[in-house]
Amino acid sequence: MTIFTYRVVNAFVNNDTKNEELKGNPAAVIVLASDESGSISKEEKQTVARKLGLSETAFVREDVNKGGGRKYFNIEWFSPTCQVGLCGHASLASAACLFRDVLAANGEKQSSEPIVFVYDDGKSELVLERCEITGAITMSFPASPPVPVADEEASRRIELVREAFGDSREALAASPVYENSIGDTFIYMEETSVPSVDEIYFDCKKKVDYEKLGKVGGRGVVITALSNPEKKELIDCDFVSRFFGPNIGIAEDPVTGSAHCGLAPFFRNILPSSMDGKFLRGYQKSARGGLVLCRIVADKVELRGFCSFDKVDTIEI
């Protein structure tokens, strides 16, 4: 029997503490001792993630062999059903946990020095920085721009999405369909002024056929649209989105940082204001809701967000 201590951190909450309607995406963070990771198998980590049942569980371990003035941590992410190659909200949650709990415990009080997550068997690195003033954490991910899907395949995917949401309108057949290197399909809703679009695709209380969405293929399906100035959202935003990942064990993800590696470059080409380096505000309209700030810097996407801390508990397997 092995006992793990974990902290639940809500990622991508609203930075306005007076507005608590955006609850963010909860992730479980397990910080392992530097000599502990090798003794825990991927099967055991998967079991923990399945038992916890959150969209992602992150396992983090400091790499004491790396130096250069920065702290390096190996990180792995697991959904309830599989290991995932990249996860934005669990990375944000893990960094928040490290900045507050681990580094502070070592006398490095809320340090603003960057930390580095090493993933993909050591082939990739993710730099994270914390702003001392606001508490916001910024991460730099590789951009994954969406590209158009060929007509016949686009028609297949859009028909499955239409059926999944119970949309009997003909107009959706003309909605652009894109995909990116992460494996996400993007459905861009251009008719944001049409009430039925919001009612059908952005009402999180409406029933969705996740099995049909799974047949789209790939990692997940992103439904997105520009913010409608005629509709008052919970928060000020530039665009809205929802993410569905039944193929990776996530029916609907509360907030998906990695999806914004595609959304940021996509909306950069649509919104001129993003060309000057400004952060776009992405509102993910799930039942919990979340705010992802994102912008393009060279070939990277910077994601910025805020976290709130939930419970600390243990689990045994």
Residues noted as catalytic: 56
Residue with tokens 């940082």: 257
Indicate the burial class of 7 (C-beta count within 10 angstroms; 0-12, 13-18, 19 or more).
Answer: buried
- CA-closest candidate to residue 12, choices 127, 110, 91, 128: 91
The b-or-e profile of 156-177 (16+ CB within 10 A means b, else e) is ebbebbbebbebeeeebeebeb
Tokens (6 digits) for 289:
């809701």
The answer to whether 243 touches 167, Cβ cutoff 8 Å, is no
Tokens (6 digits) for 25:
């995406």
Tokens (6 digits) for 284:
């993910």
β 71-78/25-32 pair status: unpaired
- CA-closest candidate to residue 283, choices 14, 35, 73, 94: 14
